[in-house]
Structure 1
Amino acid sequence: MSTLLEHTHVPVGPFTFDVTVGGPTDGDAVLLLHGYPESAASWSRVATLLNDAGLRTYAPNQRGYSRSARPDGVESYRIDHLVADVVGLLDALGLDTAHFVGHDWGAAVAWIVAARHPDRITSLTTVSVPHPAAFGWALREDADQKERSSYIRLLRTEGKAERVLLRDDAQALRAMFGDVVAPALVDEHVALLGEPGALTAALNWYRAMTSDFAETPAVTVPTTYVWSTGDIAMGRAAAERCGEFVDAPYEFVVLDGATHWIPEECPEPLARAILDRARATG
């Protein structure tokens, strides 16, 4: 039996975040953090599976994606702000701790929350993006990863990236999802990013990146990292080094043939990985 997902608004400081909530009210909490260029809707199928297993899920549209949490300026999207948003959401929801799950940029945020605030995380499941120190090493040392990440130069170019991605009914933005994400879901992601200022806000996550990401210390919470062999953005070198930066029980799950869009393409194996990690942690 599938659980109905509900949409709510959660104030955190000067902002209000749009959050999709589901599952039994007495279930263990799971915070689901989306990536770029997606939205909380990317978690719909995974969340339903977790809800049916008895977990309570919270999937926010993060800073820049929520209409009432879309400040101007690159500085507003520094990682310190993104981390503070997540901790603030936990506080506003009355959650001392939660199981954290993050995909793409959501994974990067989850890694850093785990490094800085391990007392707020029961377990960690990251998807596609490995620990920032492993990724930073690969960007410096691995030719394959350098090539895979070359697209970031465009995304960091103010003005040009917006023009390229949104012209012709956001053809370039839609093309990123290939044929593995349902067209209706792509429409939902694109509609959100087509709102005034939304795409610039999402791109500001990239523009605010600094080299100190690679200095993130090892995390000390039980962790599962899920990577797919068909991910065009994230190569094997960084994925295989990820476990070196986890000082806790760790599992590396490889999905053969899957693309970067794991939450939408592979909800069942991803939900199993999350459940296995949550149950093993207790």
Structure 2
Amino acid sequence: MLSIIRRFGFFSGRIPGYYYSLLLGLVYGYLVLFGLLYSFIRKGPGWFFKRKRRGTWPGCMDNEELGKHGFLRINNLKLHYVAAGDRSKPLMLFLHGFPECWYSWRHQMKAFSVNYRCVALDMRGFGESDRPSGKESYRMEVLVDDVKASISALGYSSCTLVGHDWGSVIAYTCCSWYPDIVDKVIIINGPHPSRYFEVLKTNPTQFLKAWYIFFFQIPLLPEFALSVGDFPVFKNLFKNIDLTDEQVEVYKYSMSRPGAISAQINYYRGLLTSSSSSWLHKDIVVNTPTLLIWGVNEEAMVMDVTKGLKKYLTNVSKQYVDAGHCVQQEKPSDVNRLMKEFLEE
């Protein structure tokens, strides 16, 4: 399959990669349909159509030790955030990944709010933030501009930027396009976009691991598949993290908001829009001091995405942790220690 994709110009400038992604998405869609049918037969209609009503967020989100809730109004958008620490301190801005929310940074908020003004966003489409419709609302240019505008709206000219998963991709790009607004950047299990697409086109294992990116390009079915059985995606995502039922409810609540599933999937759909093609084909070079923390038990990406980074990251320190994708939640003490050492350099 990989040789066929190479031959017909997948992610090349000759033929738009979107149409091939959509074709692959249809193939994976049929496989997902078979999986859903199997789940229906094995677990029954009671499990299959189970969907809990969630009108209010779980009480653990109101923990004052984590910070205070607030809203920013930027770019005709309302963004929810939680902030901790004195306003006179330097800004540390946290960007979460898919399919999470601000709560993923609770351990780091506690640890660094003594020396920083820590702000964890619900990025557009997530949690209590607005959820504009259409994949064009989730292009990289839009997502980066949200970060830039948020820093200004919070009363700062620059920040220490911390990103995980999708938040990391946005953080890398923000540093490349607007280096003056980021003092240091900390990346946690997030691939550098230029390196990721290099590996995707040459490594068959990574190509197969990226199946969900293609699956998310098709309409409707991804939304349905994620909600079947009341969001079982979180059971696998957090399998190595000691979370209470109430804490898992935080993420289910975030994804169950009206229009939230489509909005969050649109991050992937916006990635391959025709207006994003120029971004995909440009090298994202970051000169900002960078710390890359990587959980070596990552399931969605091969280790090669953490190698060959020197041409993209001119000032990078890499640290590996015996953990999975959500390393900042699985091994918070290790992550906090590495962050602290990097910030004190």
TM-score (norm 1): 0.92
Distance 2:215 2:238 in 1: 17
- Match runs of 1:96-107 below 5 Å: 96-107=157-168
Is 2:71 the counterpart of 1:21?
A: no
* Aligned-partner residue type, residue 139 of structure 1: L
> Larger Rg: 1 or 2?
2
The 3-state SS of whatever aligns with 1:47 is helix
- Match runs of 1:58-207 below 5 Å: 58-180=119-241, 182=243, 183-207=245-269
Shift of 1:178: 2.0
Partner of 1:255: 321
Shift of 1:156: 2.5
Q: 1:68 to 1:61 in 2, by over 3 A?
A: closer
**Which of 67, 76, 83 is the matching residue for 1:5?**
67
Gaps of 5+ in 1: none
The 3-state SS of whatever aligns with 2:186 is strand
TM-score (norm 2): 0.76
Distance 1:235 1:64 in 2: 28
Distance 1:181 1:115 in 2: 36
Distance 2:123 2:218 in 1: 22
Partner of 2:52: none
Distance 1:55 1:174 in 2: 33
Shift of 1:28: 1.8
The 3-state SS of whatever aligns with 2:175 is helix
Identity %: 26
The 3-state SS of whatever aligns with 2:225 is helix
CA contact (8 A) 2:127 2:253 kept: no
Q: 1:41 to 1:68 in 2, by over 3 A?
A: closer
CA contact (8 A) 2:172 2:284 kept: no
The 3-state SS of whatever aligns with 1:99 is strand
Gaps of 5+ in 2: 1-63
* Aligned-residue CA RMSD (Å): 1.7
The 3-state SS of whatever aligns with 1:57 is strand
Cα distance per residue 1:71-120 (max 9 Å; x no partner): 11111110110001010101101110100000000000000000000000
